[in-house]
Amino acid sequence: MPRSPRLVVEGESAVYHLMSRTALDGFVLGDAEKDHLLQVIRHFTSIYFADVLGFCIMGNHFHLVVRMHPDEGYSDTEIQRRYALYYQDDETKDSPLPGQIAMLRYKWQQLSEMMKEIKQSFSRYYNKRHNRRGFFWGERFKSVLVEDGDTLINCLAYVDLNPIRAGLVARPDDYRWSSLGYHSQMGNRSRFLSLDFGLVGAEKLSVDEQLRRYRQFVYEVGALPTDKGAHIDGQIVTQEQARNYTKPPVDRFLSRSRYFTDSVIIGSRDFVRTHWRRWCSEEDNPDKNPVAVRGLEDVFSLRRLTETLGR
- Assess contact for 145 and 16: CB atoms under 8 A: yes
Superfamily of domain 1-70+109-145: Transposase IS200-like (3.30.70.1290)
Q: What percent of the chain has pLDDT over 70?
A: 86
If you write DSSP's letter for every residue of 95-113 in order, what string do you get? Answer: SPPTTHHHHHHHHTT-HHH
- Assess contact for 185 and 173: CB atoms under 8 A: yes
Structure-model confidence comparison of residues 251 and 92, the more confident one: 92
Structure-model confidence comparison of residues 173 and 97, the more confident one: 173
The set of residues, in sequence order, having a beta carbon less than 8 Å from that of 260 and lying 6+ positions away, is 266
- Assess contact for 305 and 176: CB atoms under 8 A: no
Residue type, 178: S
- Assess contact for 76 and 101: CB atoms under 8 A: yes
- What does the pLDDT read at residue 189? 85
Using the predicted structure, report yes or no on whether residue 88 has a pLDDT greater than 90: no
Closest CA to 3 of 119, 126, 140: 140
Q: 183-211, pLDDT tens digit by residue?
A: 988 888 889 999 988 887 788 889 889 99
Structure-model confidence comparison of residues 22 and 6, the more confident one: 22
Per-residue DSSP letter, 2? P
Residue 161 pLDDT grade (very low, low, confident, very high; cuts 50, 70, 90): very high
- What does the pLDDT read at residue 305? 41
The pTM assigned to this predicted structure is 0.81
Per-residue DSSP letter, 203? G
- What does the pLDDT read at residue 249? 57
Measured at the CA of 241, the angle between CA 236 and CA 247, to 5 degrees, comes to 80
**Largest Cα span, the chain:** 62
Structure-model confidence comparison of residues 256 and 229, the more confident one: 229
- Stretch 110-137: mean pLDDT: 95
- What does the pLDDT read at residue 108? 95
Highest mean pLDDT: which range of 30-44, 92-106, 234-248: 30-44
* Domains of the chain by residue range: 1-70+109-145, 76-107, 147-251, 256-309
- What does the pLDDT read at residue 307? 40
User: Exposed, middle or buried by CB within 10 Å (0-12, 13-18, 19+), for 113?
Assistant: middle
